[in-house]
Amino acid sequence: KTSVLTTKIAYLIKEKNVNPKNILAITFTNKAAKEMRQRIIKMVGNIAYDMQVSTFHSFGLRIVKENYEKLGYEKNFTIIDSDDSLTVVKKILKEMGIDSTRFNPKFIKNQISSCKNEMVTPEKYKNLVNDELSDITYKVYKKYQDTLLRNNSLDFDDLLIKPIELFNKYKEVLENYQELFKYVFIDEYQDSNLVQEYLMIALS
């Protein structure tokens, strides 16, 4: 499949004179992105460096970097890792006076991540509350997002969610990216989750 994509991309550049800057190629790992770029370079030359070849999250990071002000962040925003996310959740539980032996912080953190990957905001999750655990999760999720924004931070999942929020709020920004990336290729598309799929559909 990767070979088919690289051949198609090379064809567009060499035979159809498509500007590489108008091509977006998405893979699931940094290693795969590097290998894809190297394959295309061998086929068309260094002009392929002008392409955007990256993972979903690297692409999302580019969009956030280019539009951080519209998203409510400052230029020096930080990306927190999974351990940092867990630390934030534990701190919120402590501030709320909730016993972390009863309500597992790691479980709540994973629930928040799952919500983001299914495009379930805290507001949407509130409607799904049906027991004490889901109520606690909702409250932590809301405080978690507020904490990250206040600290000028995003977690890994936000790199996909925030571009979608941006596109939904600023039509002209979406149109600019649609105009830039006229050709979108996704390696192993069947493995994409809802938020990844939605992000790519928005560009089409």
Amino acid at 168: N
Which DSSP string do the residues of 92-146 spell out, in sequence order?
A: HHHHTT--TTTS-HHHHHHHHHHHHHTT--HHHHHTT--SHHHHHHHHHHHHHHH
Question: Is the per-residue pLDDT at 2 higher than 90?
Answer: no
Q: Which residues pair with 184 in a beta bridge?
A: 24
Alpha carbon 22 to chain centroid distance? 20
List the one residue out of 62, 60, 36, 31 whose CA is nearest residue 48: 36
Closest CA to 85 of 108, 109, 117: 109
Task: State pLDDT tens for residues 31-87.
Answer: 999 999 999 999 999 999 999 999 999 999 999 999 999 999 999 999 999 999 999
Helix (H, G, I), strand (E, B) or coil at 77: coil
Distance CA 81, CA 36 (A): 26
Percentage with pLDDT > 90 across the chain: 96
pLDDT digits (tens, 9 = 90+) for 122-156: 999 999 999 999 999 999 999 999 999 999 999 99
Q: What is the pTM assigned to this prediction?
A: 0.93
pLDDT of residue 1: 67
